[in-house]
Amino acid sequence: MVQGDESGTAASAACVKFVAAWALAGVLKLLLAVHLPLFGDEAFYAWSARHLAWAYTDVPAGTPALIALGTALAGDSAFGLRWPFLLLGAALPWLVVRLARRFGDAENAWRAGLWSLPLPLLLPLGTLGLPDALLTFAVLLALDALVGLAAGHRQRFDALHGQLALALVLGALAHYRFLPVLAVGGLAALLLMPRPALRAPGLWLALGLGALAWAPLLAFNAAVDGAGWRFQFVERHPWSFEPRGLLQPVEQALVVTPLLYLASLLALWRGFRRGGPARLAAACAGGLLLFYAVLAPITDRARFSLHWPLPAYLAAAALLPPLLDHWRARWRGLPAATAVLALSGTLLVAALFALPALPGLAARTAGSGLYPDNFLGWHEVAAAVRQQRRPGEVLVADHFMLAAQLAFALERERRVFVLDHWNNHKHGRAAQLALWGYDEAGLAALPAGTPLLLAVEPGETPAREHAAWLGRACRWIEGLAPVAVVAGPGEGKWFWLYRGQRREGEWPQGCAVPLPLPAASSAAAQ
């Protein structure tokens, strides 16, 4: 009886520590979600939310739908956009606790949840309105259901089958990157789940419902000549060997923090050797880590992708407590050092995210690699557009991210035309702009003489090409004349505003457009 009381006391203490740490992390993420300016991709998803559809060329329907819900209930603000993602991010540590409970006692489950919190990669998840919050939620929900089914061998469609079906549907609505999760998880399930569990009709009904969730994305891509598939699986990847991709495990160790990364790998290995439900969870998580590590040398390295394996680390957290007990028995201070290093990494990430939330502080980083370019400058250029724009003027931006930020800042204006900038293609948004009719073809369809206000972000175009890029705008716009030069915080980025009108027909050769003030031009080129 005494032993049971001690066990219950230890579990209660672990629960209190987890809830307290989870609440502190939630308050920090809430503050960031309220005060951070919009990230560029968030603005584009918000633009998509003004054009609700079952699928888009860059993502399925889930993220824009959540943004539409968030802003409908909480208003057109950064927090209004982000609060559904904040809730999803807040639920993840609880899913780790739920998963860990399937492998051990309540104390270890609460400790596992506690160890998921200092993952540096977890802090942005839910703080920003991006697809990874829904994607990671779906992955953990599906893994928990699979592990539960493997342990319980349910035959009839019950709560766990329903949970799996829901997770598969949410994953299909979250991102194309749910497909590698399906491949790895499906292979692990086929090899490691008990045969009775695999033969259960409830499992196949859940899989069928999950498969149906991909129908809108398949139909959409069939209608647009596979634009989404091509970008996600062909165009964005070099598909040729790049040696720096071999450093992916080193990069992961740095962003997870070295000791926690090592502990996660060892926990997965010990979980696999343990057998039973732990083996299935370890195989799914380890397989996902291996998938990204093997493909790293031949896949996209030009965009930030360090967060892609995050679901695997959260699954590994569910298996961490027994390993840490083993470490504590042999090297008493090692678990504490792991925690301190992980917490330091999380605080560093928090500090980096606090920079754009404090424009005065961010201004001091202008000209350095710490300048949070993707968050800043939008407020200033939107204010200048409000001041300079005349009644009836149609807004044009030179690339998609500037257009999306203006569309959100200007009372979420739906129609902003976009020139055919290389950025639109690099980020897979050119085809979507064309579908909305906001590309150069849509601009060309405007009546001749329509007054236009053109916003340009010169930092997104090499300085030597500024004149040619502005001259290209003359294909559609005549009489271009500079009306304002706008600086972001600390003059870390610049914007140019031009006024003109839609020319009659198309001028095929371009023309000479006066650049703004020389001082501003040189600063923008740096």
pLDDT of residue 432: 95
Q: 489 in helix, strand or coil?
A: helix
Q: How confident is the model at residue 1 (pLDDT cuts 50, 70, 90)?
A: very low
Decide if pLDDT at 305 tops 70: yes
- Contact between 433 and 400 (Cβ < 8 Å): yes
Q: What is the pTM of this model?
A: 0.94
Q: What mean pLDDT is predicted for residues 17-43?
A: 96
Span of 95-99, 267-271, 461-465 with lowest mean pLDDT? 461-465
pLDDT of residue 256: 96
Decide if pLDDT at 134 tops 90: yes
Query: Rounded CA gap, 242 and 222, in Å?
Result: 32
Span of 79-88, 460-469, 484-493, 504-513 with lowest mean pLDDT? 504-513
Q: What mean pLDDT is predicted for residues 438-463?
A: 93
Query: Rounded CA gap, 289 and 285, in Å?
Result: 6
Could you give the angle at the alpha carbon of 92 between the alpha carbons of 327 and 306, nearest 5°?
Answer: 75
- Contact between 32 and 140 (Cβ < 8 Å): no
Q: 416 in helix, strand or coil?
A: coil
Q: How confident is the model at residue 523 (pLDDT cuts 50, 70, 90)?
A: very low
| Closest residue by Cα to residue 521 from 454, 472, 465, 452 | 465
The mean predicted confidence, pLDDT, of the chain is 91
Q: 77: how many CB neighbours lie within 10 A of its CB?
A: 14
Q: What mean pLDDT is predicted for residues 388-417?
A: 92
Query: Rounded CA gap, 38 and 25, in Å?
Result: 21
Q: What mean pLDDT is predicted for residues 359-368?
A: 87
Q: Give 438's DSSP letter.
A: -
pLDDT of residue 235: 86
Side-chain-side CA neighbours of 472 within 13 Å: the count stands at 13
